[in-house]
Amino acid sequence: MAKTSLAEPAPPPSRLGDIASIAAAFARSFSPGVPRYLQLQNAIIGLIQAAELRAGVQLPPDQQLTGALDVSLGTVQKAFSGLASDGWISREHGRGTFIAQPRQPVTDLWHYRFRDPQSDAMLPVFSRLLKRRKVKSDDGLRRALGSDPLGYIDIERLVDIGGKFSCYSEIWLPATRFSRILALPVAAFDSVNLKRLFADEFGAPTISVEQFIRADCLSAEMARLLDAPKRGSAMVLEVTAFSYGRAPISFQRIHIPASDYPLDISPITAAPRVAPRVATTVATRGARR
């Protein structure tokens, strides 16, 4: 093991954001009539854009900021909730709050191929992890994925379609094979193609999928999550993915609100690693707003 010379400068104890810099930026962001949580958001965003807070830097604890900025804990939490929703920071339970990596679009899309009706260009896609957990077995999951004595892993994501609208995705995986996914960092999921994650981390490449589309109405909770009209028209895309030997590895349900952006459901003929076979059944077309 290499020895550290006494003449070498000691490394910084941690990559913790400077609370004095945050307090100064917060003071500069003051504007009469603007809620204090928005002023704090603007201060943090300004520091990020000025490269004074870089990706991976941990922000001071909420309680510490409360005292330093002379604001309530609710103000800090509301500011951070908005920053997290917009992708500026990530809140990791038990670890803290971190400046997020710059958003990168998901690549090698199979299911979110929305096009601009004017230019016909494919809209960029960004994803954000909402929740992951282990759930018990039920008849629907057993039919789609087969029986698993350990249950299933449930992953919920919000998928931003080029800033135009959002989709909600819930994907289930057999727990016997994929339990370790619960221990991966949050950053492993954001704007990441899960098919690649399954292949690289679990040796489970997606060889083929079966897709079915049906019409539905958004529930009140789903409408709130997607910022869409309550009971508005929607499509639900259900996807079962298979790996080698037609072994099912995931079942996904995607809620797609009505929009003016057509979804390309033509068969996929090539992929960077494996040429997939896609069986698509269209039950109905989603309504347009």
* The predicted structure's pLDDT at residue 216: 94
Among 243, 222, 107, smallest CA distance to 173 is for: 243
Can you give the pLDDT of all 289 residues of the chain as single tens digits?
333 333 333 334 346 778 999 999 999 988 888 899 999 998 998 898 788 998 889 999 999 999 999 999 999 999 998 888 777 888 887 888 999 877 667 777 888 999 999 999 999 998 888 899 999 989 999 999 999 999 999 999 999 998 899 999 999 999 999 999 999 887 778 767 899 899 999 999 999 999 999 999 999 999 988 989 888 999 999 999 999 999 999 999 999 999 999 999 887 644 444 444 444 444 333 433 3
User: For 125-282, which CATH class?
Assistant: alpha beta
> Which class for 237: exposed (0-12), middle (13-18), buried (19 or more C-beta within 10 A)?
buried
Q: How confident is the model at residue 268, as a pLDDT?
A: 66
CA 20 – CA 53 distance, rounded (Å): 12
- List Cβ neighbours of 273 (8 Å cut-off, separation of 6 or more): 199, 205
279: left (phi over 0), alpha (psi -120 to 50) or beta: beta
Residue spans of the domains in the chain: they are 19-99, 125-282
Cross-strand pairs, 169 = 157, 254
Under 8 Å between Cβ of 182 and 132: yes
Token readout for 18 is: 């400077």
Distance from C-alpha of 29 to C-alpha of 18, rounded to nearest angstrom: 17
What is the pLDDT at residue 83? Answer: 87
Does the pTM surpass 0.95? The reply is: no
Residue 270: the pLDDT is: 41
Concatenate the DSSP letters of all residues of the chain into one string: -PPPPTTSPPPPS--BPPHHHHHHHHHHT--TTS-HHHHHHHHHHHHHHTTSS-TTPBPPPHHHHHHHHT--HHHHHHHHHHHHHTTSEEEETTTEEEEPPPP----S-SS--BB-TTT-PBPPEEEEEEEEEEE---HHHHHHH---TT-EEEEEEEEEETTTEEEEEEEEEEHHHHGGGGGS-GGGTTT--HHHHHHHHHS----EEEEEEEEEE--HHHHHHHT--TT-EEEEEEEEEE-GGG-EEEEEEEEEE--SS-B--PPP---SS---EEEEEE--PPP--
| 234 CB-near residues (< 8 Å, 6+ apart) | 215, 216, 217, 218, 222, 228, 255, 256, 257, 258, 286
CATH 1.10.15.40 matches 19-99? no
For 265, phi and psi rounded to 5 degrees?
Answer: -115, 20
